[in-house]
Amino acid sequence: MPRTYLTRSAPDVGEIEHRRWMFRHPLVIRITHWVNALCLLVLLMSGLQIFNAHPALYWGKVSTFDTPLMSMASSEDDPPKGVTTILGHAFDTTGFLGSSAGADGQPADRGFPSWLTLPSEQDLTGGRSWHFFFAWAFVLNGFTYLLYGLLSGQLRFRLIPSRDQIRHFGASIQEHLTLRFPQGDEAKRYNVIQKLTYVAVILVLLPVQVLAGLAMSPAMDAAAPFLLTMFGGRQSARTVHFVVANLLVLFVVVHVALVLLSGVWNNIRGMVTGWFVIERKVEPTPSPEPTGRSA
Partner 1 sequence: MIRPPNRRALLMGASATAAAAMLGGCDRLGEMGWFKRTLATGEDANKFVQRLLLTERTLTPEYAEADISPFFKPNGTEDPPDKAYKAMVRRKFAGFQLEVGGLVEKPFKISLADLRKLPVRTQITRHDCVEGWSCIGKWTGVPLSELLQRAVLKPSARYVVFHCADTMDQGEASNIDATGGAEAPVANPNPNMTKKVAGSESVKGAGDPPDGALAEDAGPPEPVRFYESIDLVDTYHPQTILAYEMNGKTLPVAHGAPLRLRLERNLGYKQAKYVMRIEVVESFTDIGEGKGGYWEDQGYAWYGGI
Nearest residue to ligand HEM, using CB? 47
Q: Which one among 241, 266, 267, 270 touches ligand HEM, defined by CB under 6 A?
A: 241
Beta bridge partners of 100: 108
Candidates 23, 133, 242, 275: give the one binding ligand HEM (CB under 6 A).
Answer: 242
- What distances in angstroms separate CA 93 from CA 103, 184, 247, 249, one per listed residue? 19, 47, 21, 20
For residue 284, say if its preceding peptide bond is cis, omega within 30 degrees of 0: no
**Strand-strand pairing, 89-92 and 98-101:** unpaired
Q: Facing residues of 22 across strands? A: 276
Task: State which of positions 117-176 bind partner 1 (CB under 8 A).
Answer: 118-121, 124-126, 128-136
> Which of 22, 29, 35, 50 lies at the binding interface for ligand HEM (CB under 6 A)?
50
- Select from ligand HEM, partner 1, none the partner in contact with residue 120, using the beta carbon and a kind-dependent cut-off of 5 to 8 Å: partner 1
Q: Does 61 bind partner 1 (CB under 8 A)?
A: yes
Closest CB to ligand HEM among residues 40, 196: 40
Does residue 43 bind ligand HEM (CB under 6 A)?
A: yes
| Closest by CA position to 55, among listed 2, 93, 3 | 93
Does 216 contact ligand HEM by CB under 6 A?
Answer: yes
Number of residues that bind partner 1 (CB under 8 A): 42
Distance (Å) of CA 123 to CA 46, 47, 119, 130, 150 = 10, 11, 7, 11, 40
- Please identify which residue in 209, 235, 266, 267 interacts with ligand HEM, judged by CB under 6 A: 209
Stretch that binds partner 1, among 58-66, 85-93, 204-212, 262-270 (CB under 8 A): 58-66
224 binds, among ligand HEM, partner 1, none (CB under 5 to 8 A by kind): partner 1
Interface residues with partner 1 (CB under 8 A)?
A: 50-51, 53-54, 56, 58, 61-63, 65, 115, 118-121, 124-126, 128-136, 214, 216-225, 228, 234-235, 238
